[in-house]
Structure 1
Amino acid sequence: MSVPCVLSSAARNLSLQCPVAGLLCSRLLGSCSGSGRSMSSTRQMDHLERTANNSRQNALYPAQVCGIENESETVKRLRLAVHPDFSFKAGQWVDFFIPGVETVGGFSMCSSPGLLQREGVVELAVKYTKHPPAHWVHTTCTVGSQVAMRVGGDFYFDPSPSDPAVDLLLLAGGVGINPLYSILLHTTDLLHLNQASGGRDYNIGSAHICYSAKNTQELLFKSSIIEACREFPDKFSCDLHVTQQSTDVDPHLQPFLNRGRVTREELRVHVDPQRTLCFLCGPPPMIEALSKTLTDLGLPKDRILFEKWW
């Protein structure tokens, strides 16, 4: 369901004086003042602690939920109208503040900066867990709910028109697809801009996405990913993987689908040490294994960027 994505006056008044802003400052100062690694291993670090060393914008902005969809059985997709000054780079995340919920969430954006420019909205895809912010999204959040967000993260793709072309390799596991989907959408926008300007804007070399999930139901955004590959067949390609599915696969997915995990042989085809820039996001064991495989294939470590704070 959705409503027109315009901020209400109440949402615009949710400013730096709101209760969550004070919590943000105190939590960040606390997490930066000592070594988070010395705390008890029995308590899982929360989002602010895990990302204490990441870059963050200074501003905390109000936002209002203007659309909610079920992306899968376990993932809800939120559409949020944001303040006119809100900005982000493809691949970044937000500190997510919910009035009345003490714990601060951390969610990667799954929309492009272009959508923000065109419609004034951003999108988040949140998997159900008992963690308070995710639980709130799945059990309490409604169209019209008001929150506050602050952009952070050093994992993004934001080339200038004059930057040299690169070949993107996007490796995702589970909901790790979110920032990579944002990057893929941004790359699509860049291609459209380059076409419209007669080649004066940034021109991507190519983009290949390897995306693994338990089953096709949990392959988020799969139809849009395939659509992008069909729109730009000379630029985009994808390999979708399922690791725990025994049932038949939808025929329109079949040409893109593989059973089992991403393999070394599959990656070898898409690794050029001089041109490939890899963005990797998913469960930490997956990131560690694939990072080692990529370095073994000759990809320099500074060309392997990953996000694994959840």
Structure 2
Amino acid sequence: MSLDRIIFRDQSSLWLSPKTQRHLVSVVMSVPGLLSSAARSLSLPCPAAGLLCSRLLVQPSFTTRRNMTSKRKMDHLERTASNSRQSPLYPAQVCGIINESETVRRLRIAVHPNFSFKAGQWVDFFIPGVEKVGGFSMCSSPCLLQQEGVIELAVKYTQHPPAHWVHTVCEVGSQVAMRVGGDFFFDPAPSDPPVDLLLVAGGVGINPLYSILLHAADLQHLNQSSGSVDYNIGSAHLCYSAKNTHELLFQSSITEVCRDFPDKFSCDFHVTQQSPDADPRVQPFINRGRITEEELRARVDPQRTLCYLCGPPPMIEGISKTLMDFGLSKDRILFEKWW
């Protein structure tokens, strides 16, 4: 059983099971006055404390990778026990809700001033009165957090208690608690070598890749505003597959980014069921059928390409093998599996 530790202000400590953690968070958030001080009084180090979470571009051999074999569906805390996590557990409040599609709800969440994350990471999502802990990737850029003090999560409807709560109970003003985790992120430094990004998403696997795409665009804007090439991002191409055009999340925003940087950013949407009422502005980017080997081959340069994959395990496993067949080394392929 995975254990975690709570550190009190006097530095004394107590080891807790995930179930006890969930109960403690529920108690803290249900007592008036405690929620506002939760971030100051609680510190929950990750089970993987001591593991290095280095930037891939600097030290690729230190990047934590998961076994490519699909496993049984597990509880989020159990499934991610070996991942790096930040220590603090922060209180947060839902400040906006929109329906991104018929099955996906996007939350805008105001967070604690000390909250921080890297593009591609996720949060442990604690909900008062809900025993299960959610695991949701940020779909916003770190720049939005810096400018407005908020993050965004896009959650697909399922019967899993945290997702079900988002769609049936959550409202503006709802209070939650969150802790950042994950070894799947894009966080380049100005001194890092040039890189071309290949982002491959399936379904709601777009969430962390959308965050990475927005972050790459923000860095390009920073390069333009400074008049120099501070960040060595050569290009970024997104391959995004969904059942139909209605399930292509963030489609207008993605194509807008590509139009902002036509010589740098590009995207291809793939749908297995074409919809006749697709947005005319998005239509030129839509392809019928799944992502092809030819499309991937055209985007792979073994020396420059850095690939991020997120989607169903069979998709991730198949595309990872294809990319390695094209000469892309394992340490340049990062992946996240969520179901």
TM-score normalized with structure 1 length: 0.88
Aligned letter for 1:12? Answer: S
The answer for unaligned runs of 5 or more in structure 1 is 1-8, 30-36
Aligned residues of 1:79 and 1:121 also touching (Cα < 8 A): yes
CA distance change for structure 1 residues 109 and 162 in 2, over 3 Å: closer, same or farther? Answer: same
1:123-272 correspondence to structure 2 within 5 Å: 123-245=152-274, 247=276, 249-272=278-301
- For residues 35-92 of structure 1, give each alpha carbon's deviation from its aligned partner in whole angstroms, at most 9, with x where no partner exists: xx9xxx8x73110011000000011001000000000000000000000000000000
Structure 2 equivalent of residue 55 of structure 1: 84
How far the C-alpha of 1:164 sits from its partner, in A, is 1.2
How far the C-alpha of 1:14 sits from its partner, in A, is 4.1
Separation in structure 1 between the aligned mates of residue 35 and residue 106 of structure 2, nearest angstrom: 20
Aligned letter for 2:336? Answer: E
How far the C-alpha of 1:16 sits from its partner, in A, is 6.7
3-state secondary structure, aligned to 1:176? helix
Structure 1 equivalent of residue 142 of structure 2: 113
3-state secondary structure, aligned to 2:209? helix
Q: How many residues align?
A: 287
Q: After alignment, is 248-257 or 203-212 more displaced?
A: 248-257
Separation in structure 2 between the aligned mates of residue 255 and residue 214 of structure 1, nearest angstrom: 17
The answer for unaligned runs of 5 or more in structure 2 is 1-32, 49-66
TM-score normalized with structure 2 length: 0.80
3-state secondary structure, aligned to 1:206? strand
3-state secondary structure, aligned to 1:101? coil
The alignment status of 1:44 with 2:73, answered yes or no, reads: yes
Aligned residues of 1:50 and 1:309 also touching (Cα < 8 A): no
Separation in structure 2 between the aligned mates of residue 199 and residue 127 of structure 1, nearest angstrom: 40
Structure 1 equivalent of residue 52 of structure 2: none
Structure 1 equivalent of residue 25 of structure 2: none
- RMSD (CA atoms): 2.2
Separation in structure 1 between the aligned mates of residue 171 and residue 280 of structure 2, nearest angstrom: 35
Structure 2 equivalent of residue 276 of structure 1: 305
Separation in structure 2 between the aligned mates of residue 202 and residue 125 of structure 1, nearest angstrom: 28
1:59-74 correspondence to structure 2 within 5 Å: 59-74=88-103
3-state secondary structure, aligned to 1:102? coil
The alignment status of 1:86 with 2:110, answered yes or no, reads: no
Separation in structure 1 between the aligned mates of residue 34 and residue 267 of structure 2, nearest angstrom: 43
Separation in structure 2 between the aligned mates of residue 44 and residue 296 of structure 1, nearest angstrom: 29
Separation in structure 1 between the aligned mates of residue 135 and residue 198 of structure 2, nearest angstrom: 24
How far the C-alpha of 1:93 sits from its partner, in A, is 0.2
3-state secondary structure, aligned to 2:233? coil
Separation in structure 2 between the aligned mates of residue 121 and residue 216 of structure 1, nearest angstrom: 28
Structure 2 equivalent of residue 12 of structure 1: 36
Structure 2 equivalent of residue 103 of structure 1: 132
Question: What percentage of aligned pairs have identical amino acids?
Answer: 78
CA distance change for structure 1 residues 28 and 276 in 2, over 3 Å: closer, same or farther? Answer: closer
Separation in structure 1 between the aligned mates of residue 331 and residue 222 of structure 2, nearest angstrom: 28
Q: After alignment, is 93-102 or 240-249 more displaced?
A: 240-249
- For residues 194-235 of structure 1, give each alpha carbon's deviation from its aligned partner in whole angstroms, at most 9, with x where no partner exists: 111121521310000000000000000000000000000011
3-state secondary structure, aligned to 2:193? coil
3-state secondary structure, aligned to 2:279? coil
Aligned residues of 2:245 and 2:275 also touching (Cα < 8 A): no
Separation in structure 2 between the aligned mates of residue 246 and residue 108 of structure 1, nearest angstrom: 27
